[in-house]
Structure 1
Amino acid sequence: TSLLPEAVNYWQIALAVRPTAMPIRLYRKCISNLYYMRVYEKRQSCVLGCKNETSCGEVIIPDEHLYQCRYCISPDSQNCDITGPPDGIGVPNTDFLLYVSAVLSERCKNIDTVAYAAHCQQEAHLDRPIAGHVNLCPNALSTALHDREVLISTVKHEILHALGFSAGLYAFFRDDNGNPRTRRNRYNKPVSLNKEHGYYNWDQNTIQTIIRHDWWTAEGMISHPVHIMVTPRVQQEAQRHFNCSDLEGAELENQGGDGTAFTHWEKRLFENEAMTGTHTQNPVYSRLTLALLEDSGWYKPNYSAAEELLWGHHLGCEFAKKSCGEWIRNRREKNLLLAPFCNEIKHDGKRSLATTRCTAERDSLALCNLIPYRKPLPVEYRNFAFLDEIQDENAIYYGGSVELADYCPYNQEFEWKAPNSTERRDSRCELDGNFAPNQANSILEVYGNQSKCFDLATFWTERKCGHIRTFLQYKAGCYQYECSEGRLNIGLFNGSFFYPCYFTGQYIHIRKIINGWLREGVIICPSCEEICRPEHFSFDDKFGLCQETNKNEIPEYFLGNQLKKNGMSIVDEAIVWGKRSIDPWHRMTCCPEAIFTVIEFCQAQGPRPLYSYPANVRGPHLDMDSVALWLMSAEVINGSSMIIYNQQMDIYACVHYSTLLDLHARAFQRPLSLALLTPVKPTAAVFKEFIDASRHVFLPLLVCNQTLFKSDLIRLINVAKTVELKTPDKKNLLSSISKSAMIKIQSVADQAKRMLQRFENDGVKKIIHNSLYCNGHDLVNNDVKILEQFIDDPPLSLQEMKFLTPCTYDGFIKALPEVYEKLIKAAQLHSTGTLFCAAAPVLKLKDCNNHSLDDDSTSATSMNFLDENDYTRNLTTIVEGLDKILFALLSGEKLALWSVEERKSLGKDLLKKLNLLRICMQRQSAPWKKVHNNIEDCQLFGESVPRKTTVNDSKDAMLCVYDVEGRWLKCKNYKGKLLSFLSSKRSDSFPSDYALIQYVMAQLTELCSIVYLAKYSDPNELRERLQIEEDDFKMIINLLAEIDVLKYGWMKEKMKKENNLGMITVKI
């Protein structure tokens, strides 16, 4: 019930008209739809007569609003008369009559039609519309809060068509002096009628058709006509909005047919302006629309009622005059943001590829609406020559889902779809009804009238017990905000406080434990001015507007490592409080490499680190005191080893727990542990190596300690006897012993006697008398010293660990670096796996014996790591044929690289990098052989050949060959899908070989997943279910045979025989 009043009230505020002196009366409809108009009269006379009823849209107009019927049976005035009811009283003190209906008409049967409207009659003096109609389609009306904004905007939109924004009224526009902009005939009507469309044609001073001769498309430059409203104020507003001084005016829609074309602004240029041809998101009535109404000559707009249009604002003539395809291409080449357009594919026709973004106004989440069409797009709207992940020839099928926007893709609001749910959620941040259920609120969003959309620096993740979930659909989220103390502050769901934004682009690192899962994300702060205006600050705020913060004024506990360097980051409150922050970028600065550390449990100070190696690896926020507390708090058995994980610090630890014995410690025990801290979960092989190494280095320590401790036990027992018997030669010393000290000595001696029995075990005797580890120490009677320690007040502090193992402690510390390097080498075997499922490699890359054909072998060990500082682009030059080369390697075919001796260094570099991308259980070297050497057991190798040798000179008909010099490739053709991600790439798609290798390795994850599934199911059934192409299945079977040759080897050989296809030769 409030839709219509609210819409009408907006236009009453926004527009003023010259008041009419007389009540408004309307003409009756003519039977023949024809009428006579005499030059000296301003009232019309129907030919043959008037209809019994006159309607405006779906509403029958009452007689009180109508003139009496005037009719003529011929042009002669003698044949004219009046009939029917007399003139009605009309509607006084009124500028416009709006007749409203809610009828399920024929037009309403189109599911996309919410309402429609038109003007019905114009006044005679200035041609201003004085009556119009709006029909609201009942099937489209809704009381849901989600629909209210759209419905109100739609009603306002339709009313505006009736008021003047209509192709049927442009020819009646007047200038500021009241003169017609379009020439008139002697009957005061525009001179030309467009019979095809049913409206009068306008003159060039209102709308011009301009040919853009440099309209870029993927097929080349073409000529493209555009229709532009060129009236003075529209031209001025368009130039101001786009910051383009030579812009002819504002472009009108050229698509959609009658009712859409010419009657709306061009969707490509004015996306969410409410007077574009289709509603998509956040409709606003801008100054441009009000300018058109003023240029009609009928209205004086109140420009303060205009709403801000951000789309295209100040993007210049390149945006306003060129195709969006050219804009996207140029921005990509310059490595600039594509906004307001985008090129992320929403879906490829089979699966969703979408990630959320923010709209320009930050009032909603949005998805890039780039989708595939069933047919190629019209040539003038082919905006992409190529797209990532899409073969070039298929780019002509891709465009934005809004056709009126010239198929230009952009970020658009959306609705969440949940199966078997009647609830509706859309992506607007301002509606609290869009809250996801608690269990589905993956990124801790907050919806409501104090929420905005904020970009995310990384995907949110949650971790628990080694399991990791990554929320790949989110690159933006809705969060609560407040403006206070001169800055923007951001709040999360169930948050205890707001996170301050000190700088534009600052990172807010969130780490919270939710239901036992560690939830992590990074929010990027926009500029304060973008969100907070003066009216958003409270009346008593000490600043009242955004203030730039001096870095020196930021509280110390908000200073993460990144902020200390460049003022770009703060961290979550669960991390920052305490004496030091634990860095949230766990793998970047917390524990970037493995660390060896020795921890002791001190009875006075608690757990504390004794030694770490390497000393310079530890990140600036890795708190070793916290690590010590974590490691020593585990309830374990002495002598045991285990792997434990810390969620907060996101580090794993292989830990060996032991105990040294100390006569003066509580229960004689001094707990000690050795730990390998690592950012990735250790493999079973690494853990086994750690256990063996720990026991080996601890053995000398324990032997020496127990030898010394046994001698101390014997001395203590002897001292106790002396005290008990009051031995004469100790008379002076005994006289100073208090009664309480004597009781203490006796009590400890009793414990020592029981302890001494443990050392009578034959195995222990054998160990502690091993002279390789201990020299036996000085066993001279030193009873006085022990006695002094018990009567000292206050008691002496415990000795340092090294004094408990005087013969072996230094050797123990010196041995740790060697052990560390051995463990790292074991771990590197795991890190060379390129195919991963979760955190475990499906296929591990292991070293094998190098071929000894010559000194040019490229061993697997040299390929364990990528060098991120390698900026060479040798591999990128063959990226257009890399899918065929990888197919050969992954399907088990042999591949040779041929080069003349002078270019061998280039060939070896390619050989080295291709060897990394080759997946196998037992990694062979990739040797470079002399001409006459045989390498029957090598799948990948290089070979020096004479000049003018071609790939067709190979004696092995089934050998794949790449000629490094001529860049010719002879191989089997690849017709699968799993490697198709390379088919659309060019050599300039990657800045370096390092980037290309990283990209390929990441993309092989999908192949990994299928191999992993096939390992635990029937490969043939999986092939049928997933519709795997034959070439892809060949790769999968080859990799399965690598894992288990006995189980899958026969399948590999069978496919080899069945698919023994011929070779092709291509130029790369």
Structure 2
Amino acid sequence: MRVQETAWKPIRIHLDTSALESQVDAGQLTYLRDDVLQAAVRWLSNAVQVLPVEGSLRYEQQCAAVLTASGRCARVQANFQECGPITIPREHFADKEVCPSGRLAGCEVSSGGAGIPNADVGIYVSAVQTQWCTGTTVAYASTCRQAEDDRPVAGYFNFCPNRLSPAAERNWHQDVAIATHEILHTMAFSSSLFPFFRDILGTPRTPRNDWGLPPIQDGSYRADSSTLRVEDVDGLERRFIVLPKVVQAARHHFGCTSLEGVALEEQGGDGSAFSHWDARIMHTEVMAAESSAMPRISDMTLALMEDSGWYRVLGGLVASDGDSAAGHFVFGRGKGCGFLQQSCIIDSQSAFPDTFCTESQGDCSHPNAGTVGCSHDHLSLGACTNCLHRDSLPARYRHFDNPRLGGIAAYVGYCPTVEPFWSSGQPTFCASGGVYSDRTSQRFGESHGPASRCVLSTATKSGFVPPEEPQGTCRDVFCLEDAVRIRISDNNFVLCGKEETGVRKSVFGQFAGYILCPRYATICGQTGAEGPREGAECHFPGTHRHGRCVCAPGTMGADCSVLDKAANRQDFPYGLRYPQQELELKVGLELSRTEGLLAWPLAPALQSQPRLIQFKVDPATWQQFLSSLLGLLCPWA
């Protein structure tokens, strides 16, 4: 296998689902192979570039014994085709000369095959119930072959059959996020790969031994301090990514110029610890260890991919034009260094009220119906996940005087957050409909659709008694340069200025009460370029960016309203997915020098088909808890 060093090209990911085809039924196969996996791969090929493999991708047959005198292979490993629970087809390997006698005359060829055409990495997919498919583990993945520059060129991805949802309970965006999550593990985001990262010149960031390998500590390769900083915090090992582009992206996101590293998850054992972002500061990010209702990709994850030295990505660094394939990730955005260093709850009060909450819902297994609030990103109505656990929480995660009281999610450090209600196995978002009955929704003047966001309000139609305290309601919001227009009814709006966070604005006309102005930057971004605009629809999880809608994995179209499924792709020929980048033609500049121009006249090109890491979703906690609360809300809604 040779790598072309002339130009970076969109990564070509080959999905081998031959094992999967005999392990799931026809319905699951079509959904996973043709819809979910292809959606993840199509998005990654649009966001990630690589120095392409020249010719076909072929793996080396690993040698079990090498002759000292000649350096020739005396015997190939009996299990050289093994890749996790999968056997790689022999035809994907190159031929290997083997000299069992030690003499050239006695050499023979261990035959391989033609390899994989038009591919830079092979991902082998299965659905086998293994010892790792326990608890809430949905899938796991790892790398099993690396190129000469250490870039992963083969990996496996195993779905746990016991966690595959029936058709009626599937969550499309979450399923595509899981696939994207696992593929990113095979490509770079893993504690087993961090020690192999390289700098921009291709030099290993971690020094190598005589065998070209990183140092080993406690049975595992250990990354250099220029990649990973390790600290002991009250007897707990914490690890922080200190790579330059990751740090720059994180400083910009959190608004913390003194940040020196981004924390990795410390919980969950070998399957989760140190191979995911710490969900306490990166909740809802696709590379957190436990899935949220709607995971999204941040610039920090894209930056890590580029910091590996193997890829170039659309995003990651804070470019002058802000162009990025990252999604609508706002958790902790602009909160400052304190968000990274302080406890989420201080003296029983939320240190960041628009992110963490304190209202207790009673027993975690039988929660009460409390106040309807807004999620941190204002995309949904929800309830605070603070509740009484059966047992005392670990000492380092106790945020209240009562040692049993805390948020329901362990990976968020038991910090309570407002999470979307779940109904019929699906999270509820303002874009698709709220949680109140139609009558109650009309009474509050709610509106649902791509521009709808959760706003705290007491606004109620005249003739009805308004709530005593503001509660979450879904309303159309439209971003202006220095304000947000919030719809109260058809042609009745309230204007909230950029600096009026938390200010009460009275409503008029047929409605009485007030709304609490939301934080402008959360709704619209710092410059107002990210939020909803009148006449420019963008369906979540897509996000507005500089006048166009940037689609998340699993969606496509000018407004990101089309699900990237096999049945819909025929309407988007030649892989056309409305790319995030646009050409800027400048007067006096030759077309051949225009950045991003691949051919003139423009024409779409036909695309070809496209250590253990676990990803967890726990309906027994998130969904059951929030479904229970929604059920309690229904009687008075």
Shorter-chain TM-score bucket reads 0.5 to 0.7
1 CA distance for matches of 2:492 and 2:170? 28
Q: CA deviation at 1:99?
A: 2.3
2 CA distance for matches of 1:483 and 1:100? 43
Are residue 291 (structure 1) and residue 303 (structure 2) matched?
A: yes
Aligned pairs for 1:66-145 within 5 A: 66-68=93-95, 82=108, 84=110, 86-101=111-126, 103-106=127-130, 110=134, 112-123=136-147, 125-137=148-160, 139-141=163-165
Q: 2:196 aligns with which of 172, 184, 188?
A: 172
- The residue that corresponds to 1:657 in the other structure is none
Counterpart contact for 2:363–2:389, Cα < 8 Å: no
Are residue 157 (structure 1) and residue 181 (structure 2) matched?
A: yes
Are residue 501 (structure 1) and residue 491 (structure 2) matched?
A: no
SS of residue matched to 1:479: strand
Q: 1:536 aligns with which of 513, 520, 533?
A: 533
Q: CA deviation at 1:109?
A: 5.2
1 CA distance for matches of 2:211 and 2:237? 33
- The residue that corresponds to 1:405 in the other structure is 412
Counterpart contact for 1:481–1:488, Cα < 8 Å: yes
- The residue that corresponds to 2:27 in the other structure is none
Q: 1:206 aligns with which of 209, 227, 233?
A: 227
Counterpart contact for 1:234–1:295, Cα < 8 Å: yes
SS of residue matched to 1:134: strand
Counterpart contact for 2:256–2:336, Cα < 8 Å: yes
SS of residue matched to 2:399: coil
Q: CA deviation at 1:225?
A: 4.1
CA deviation string 1:669-709 (max 9, x = no partner): xxxxxxxxxxxxxxxxxxxxxxxxxxxxxxxxxxxxxxxxx
What letter is aligned with 2:93?
Answer: L
Are residue 3 (structure 1) and residue 36 (structure 2) matched?
A: yes
TM-score normalised to structure 1 length: 0.41
Larger RCO of the pair (alpha carbons < 8 Å, separation 6+): 2
1 CA distance for matches of 2:106 and 2:342? 58
What letter is aligned with 2:281?
Answer: L
Are residue 50 (structure 1) and residue 78 (structure 2) matched?
A: yes
Q: 2:360 aligns with which of 335, 340, 345?
A: 345
SS of residue matched to 1:227: strand
2 CA distance for matches of 1:80 and 1:403? 60
Counterpart contact for 2:293–2:427, Cα < 8 Å: no
1 CA distance for matches of 2:211 and 2:522? 55
Aligned pairs for 1:1013-1028 within 5 A: none
Give the direction of change, closer, same or farther, for the CA distance of 1:225–1:191 in structure 2 (3 Å limit). closer
Q: CA deviation at 1:348?
A: 3.6
Give the direction of change, closer, same or farther, for the CA distance of 1:261–1:530 in structure 2 (3 Å limit). closer
1 CA distance for matches of 2:201 and 2:521? 42
- The residue that corresponds to 1:480 in the other structure is 476
Aligned pairs for 1:946-1025 within 5 A: none
| Larger Rg, first or second structure (1 or 2) | 1
Aligned pairs for 1:668-1067 within 5 A: none
Give the direction of change, closer, same or farther, for the CA distance of 1:249–1:527 in structure 2 (3 Å limit). closer
What letter is aligned with 1:341?
Answer: F
Q: CA deviation at 1:428?
A: 1.3
Give the direction of change, closer, same or farther, for the CA distance of 1:357–1:470 in structure 2 (3 Å limit). closer
Counterpart contact for 1:228–1:252, Cα < 8 Å: yes
Identity rate, percent: 30
Are residue 316 (structure 1) and residue 316 (structure 2) matched?
A: no
SS of residue matched to 2:231: strand
2 CA distance for matches of 1:66 and 1:17? 21
Q: CA deviation at 1:129?
A: 0.2
- The residue that corresponds to 2:610 in the other structure is none
SS of residue matched to 2:44: helix
- Whichever structure has more helix as a proportion of its residues is 1
2 CA distance for matches of 1:480 and 1:379? 43
1 CA distance for matches of 2:204 and 2:336? 33
Point out where structure 1 has 5 or more consecutive residues left out of the alignment.
Answer: 213-221, 387-394, 417-422, 513-518, 540-544, 546-1068
SS of residue matched to 2:185: helix
2 CA distance for matches of 1:457 and 1:38? 81
- The residue that corresponds to 1:267 in the other structure is 279
Q: 2:387 aligns with which of 362, 371, 375?
A: 371
Counterpart contact for 1:499–1:508, Cα < 8 Å: no
2 CA distance for matches of 1:259 and 1:270? 18
Counterpart contact for 2:229–2:261, Cα < 8 Å: no
1 CA distance for matches of 2:271 and 2:90? 30
SS of residue matched to 1:177: coil
CA deviation string 1:840-879 (max 9, x = no partner): xxxxxxxxxxxxxxxxxxxxxxxxxxxxxxxxxxxxxxxx
1 CA distance for matches of 2:265 and 2:347? 23
Counterpart contact for 1:113–1:140, Cα < 8 Å: no
Are residue 241 (structure 1) and residue 256 (structure 2) matched?
A: no
Q: CA deviation at 1:475?
A: 1.3
Q: CA deviation at 1:110?
A: 4.0
SS of residue matched to 2:280: coil
Q: CA deviation at 1:127?
A: 0.7
Question: How many residues are matched?
Answer: 484
Give the direction of change, closer, same or farther, for the CA distance of 1:407–1:210 in structure 2 (3 Å limit). same
Aligned pairs for 1:423-442 within 5 A: 423-424=424-425, 426-432=427-433, 436-439=436-439, 441=441
2 CA distance for matches of 1:141 and 1:256? 23
2 CA distance for matches of 1:426 and 1:281? 6
2 CA distance for matches of 1:204 and 1:175? 14
Counterpart contact for 1:50–1:69, Cα < 8 Å: no
What letter is aligned with 2:258?
Answer: D
Q: CA deviation at 1:261?
A: 0.4
Counterpart contact for 2:393–2:403, Cα < 8 Å: yes
Give the direction of change, closer, same or farther, for the CA distance of 1:126–1:410 in structure 2 (3 Å limit). same
Counterpart contact for 1:454–1:477, Cα < 8 Å: yes
What letter is aligned with 1:383?
Answer: H
SS of residue matched to 1:536: coil
SS of residue matched to 1:114: strand
Give the direction of change, closer, same or farther, for the CA distance of 1:510–1:121 in structure 2 (3 Å limit). farther
- The residue that corresponds to 2:456 in the other structure is 455
What letter is aligned with 2:122?
Answer: L
